[in-house]
Chain A
Amino acid sequence: MESALLASAFLPAALLADDADGGFHGPSLGEFFPPAILFEGTPFELNRIMMIRILITVLLIVWLIIATRRMRIVPSRFQVANEFLLGFVRNNIVIETLGEKDGKRFMAPLMAMFFLILGLNLTGVVPFLNIAGTSVIGTPLVLAIVSYVLFVYAGIKKFGIRFFKNQLFPSGVPWPLYVVVTPIELISTFVLRPVTLTLRLLMNMVAGHMLLVLCFSATHFFFFTVLADGNLLGLLGVGSLAFAGVFTLFELLVAVLQAYVFTFLAAVYIQLSLADEH
């Protein structure tokens, strides 16, 4: 269904691109729906992006097993690096937002969220993988649902049914205003939070991939079509190649930043539903 929706949205652009024969073909959303590799025709169909996701998951598990075995009081260099990474998420994201006690309760899911997103985002700039595992809606959606369940669970566990009253009827508001406030709170808390979590991650990765593909395919076009014809305009390819390099670095930044923001917001949402009403 995903692909059907996207195809219908981008049909006009695709038609236009087909008209110009021999011209430049920009990237289309077809990039994100590569042909299936394994188990074609079954519900377990695997394409390139799924393979990347599986690869990253396996790598993460192996890394965590190796990193947490034989830990010493006097750490090796490898252990220091791992402790820095894990400690950053633990102290700067989870404990700083949720506090010591609640932070430890929700440490495991938030930690898993951060490293899964980081790993999947980074595949967008790894040569030969070239596409982020989070650039199709599945992963961001699942992670957003996990964070949704977590903050509703945290609230209900602490306040019971009063959680919904706290969220929908914030105290300190004169009661006639509830006509306006309650629908806004309902939409922003229970609809927009998971939707924006999903879209923020997804759209950042989609846009980043599109930019990279555009820069690299423009470079290819300038060098191997325009310059090969003897047209000196092809030297513009130097510029687009430089842009491609800059955007690759930018994508690295975005990959780390999005992992941070996603985990941080998940933690903040949990904290907001645990907060006492004044």
Chain B
Amino acid sequence: MIVGYLAPIAFGLASIGSAIGVGLVVGKTIESVARQPELQGRLTGLMFLGIAFTEALAFIAIAVAFIPFPS
């Protein structure tokens, strides 16, 4: 019998989405800075804002592990 705990697997699944999202946001920002280096300041700000929203799902997924569900 396998005994274990499922929350880490749930977090792993949930973080796939955020990982792809954050990767896209950062990648596109680097691309745009390469095209227009003078906009770097503004783009960095937008990048962090975008990351903040995308990351939110992963953080909610972590927090779910701490909610005591009745079993």
Chain A positions near chain B (C-beta within 8 angstroms): 5-6, 8-9, 12-13, 16, 96-97, 188, 192, 195-196, 199-200, 203, 261, 264-265, 268
Contacts and interface: CB of A to CB of B under 8 A. Distances in A.
B1 to A, nearest CB: 13
A6 B66 contact: yes
B45 A13 contact: no
A261 B52 contact: yes
Q: How large is the interface on B (under 10, 10 to 19, 20 to 34, 35 or more residues)?
A: 20 to 34
A95 to B, nearest CB: 11
Contact of A265 (B48, B59, B67): B48
Interface of B: 3-5, 7, 41, 45, 48-49, 52-53, 55-56, 59-60, 62-63, 65-68
B62 A203 contact: yes
A8 B41 CA distance: 45
Contacts of A188: 53
A264 B5 CA distance: 36
Given A264-B45, A264-B48, A199 B5 contact: no
Contacts of A199: 59-60, 62-63
B66 A9 contact: yes
B48 A96 contact: no
B55 A196 contact: yes
Contacts of B66: 5-6, 9
SS class, residues of chain A in contact with chain B: helix
A75 B39 CA distance: 33
B56 A196 contact: yes
A200 B41 contact: no
A199 B14 CA distance: 15
Nearest to A203: B62
Contacts, number: 50
A13 B8 CA distance: 11
26 contacts: A5-B67, A6-B66, A8-B68, A9-B65, A9-B66, A9-B67, A9-B68, A12-B3, A13-B5, A16-B4, A96-B45, A97-B45, A195-B56, A195-B59, A196-B55, A199-B59, A199-B60, A200-B52, A200-B59, A203-B63, A261-B48, A261-B52, A264-B48, A265-B52, A268-B48, A268-B49
A241 B66 CA distance: 30
A195 B5 CA distance: 25
A12 B69 CA distance: 13
Contact of B56 (A6, A192, A261): A192
Contacts of B45: 96-97, 264, 268
A9 B7 contact: yes
A230 B7 CA distance: 38
Contacts of B4: 12, 16
A192 B55 CA distance: 11
Nearest to B52: A265
Nearest to A9: B66
A16 B63 contact: no
A6 B7 CA distance: 13
Contacts of A5: 66-68
Nearest to A6: B66
Contacts of B52: 196, 200, 261, 265
Given A8-B68, A261-B48, A203 B59 contact: yes
